[in-house]
Amino acid sequence: MITLGHSCRGGFETRPVSILRNYIGSLVRRTIATKSHRGILLKAGGFETRPYKRHDRAVCSTRLHLHTIMLPLLLAVALAACGQNMTDQPKYNEYKPAQLFRDGRVLQIPPAGTVARDDADRRKAAAEKPHLDAALLARGQEQFDIYCAPCHARTGAGNGMIVQRGMPRPPSYHIDRLRTADDQHFFDVITNGHGVMYSYAQRVTPRDRWAIVAYIRALQLSQNASLDDLPDDQRARLHAAQ
């Protein structure tokens, strides 16, 4: 018990009492106080002020102890923490372990096929047109028949099954404007969409887009070829068949 200072204040002595005592005893004490002739007990935030007896007067009226200050201070700090709920919420940190998932990680491995925004590999694949070969054409045909043929038709004429059921009709790939358009235009239409046609960037990988473009070129050639475009042996076979 450290005495910080003395001062006299009327005939009252102020000293700290335990909060518990304060709570539990307040009712009882108040009852006793009103009934007793010895004095009235006033309770206020852990302090007890009572009229002291005549012989106390010689000591001093008011004593200020260290824990008189510490108690409200601790209380203030403890209560201040209660107000931090909004800023200091319970959460999992990405790189810390936790039992939330079976593998004990907070940051889960993305499922196969997940594409990060601005993925560097995809951007590179979009910029590099792959080498044209039979495998690429076959892949292009497969992807075209899955993603494009429902509207554009398997020939690219633009009268696919969905169009026959009432969807807007796309232009034929065999019109002059699209026949002379460069490969990049087709790639961009798949990537960004065009007019009422929506983007296929989420469904078709950049490499597959190039494969589809190659196949569209083959389709265009198939609808606009002359006999002279055929190799000699095949032309001879055609003539023989006629």
Nearer to ligand HEC, 7 or 180 (CB): 180
Give min distance, CB of 108 to ligand HEC, in A. Answer: 31
- Tell me the site size for ligand HEC, rule CB under 6 A: 20
According to CB under 6 A, which one of 17, 33, 42, 197 is a site residue for ligand HEC?
197
Q: CB of 183 within 8 A of CB of 129?
A: yes
Distance CA 242, CA 238 (A): 6
**Choices 1-9, 63-71, 118-126, 196-204; region in contact with ligand HEC by CB under 6 A:** 196-204
Give min distance, CB of 122 to ligand HEC, in A. Answer: 16
Nearer to ligand HEC, 6 or 185 (CB): 185
Give min distance, CB of 199 to ligand HEC, in A. Answer: 9
Nearer to ligand HEC, 29 or 200 (CB): 200
Give min distance, CB of 165 to ligand HEC, in A. Answer: 11
Nearer to ligand HEC, 126 or 204 (CB): 204
The sheet that has 47-51: what strands, in order across it?
Answer: 12-16, 47-51, 42-44
At 140, list the tokens.
């292009």
Contact between 200 and ligand HEC by CB under 6 A: the answer reads yes
Q: CB of 130 within 8 A of CB of 210?
A: yes
Give min distance, CB of 147 to ligand HEC, in A. Answer: 4
Provide CB contacts within 8 A for 94, sequence distance 6+.
106, 107
Distance CA 202, CA 140 (A): 17
From residue 10, how far is each of 52, 56, 136, 179 by CA, in Å? 10, 12, 101, 106
**φ/ψ (deg, to 5) at 71:** -60, -55
Contact between 194 and ligand HEC by CB under 6 A: the answer reads yes
Report the Cα–Cα distance between both ends of the chain, in Å, rounded: 121
By CB under 6 A, what part of segment 150-179 binds ligand HEC? 150-152, 162, 167-168, 170-171
Provide CB contacts within 8 A for 155, sequence distance 6+.
219, 222, 223
Nearer to ligand HEC, 10 or 195 (CB): 195
Contact between 139 and ligand HEC by CB under 6 A: the answer reads no
Interacting residue ranges for ligand HEC, rule: CB under 6 A: 147-148, 150-152, 162, 167-168, 170-171, 186, 189-190, 194-197, 200, 204, 212
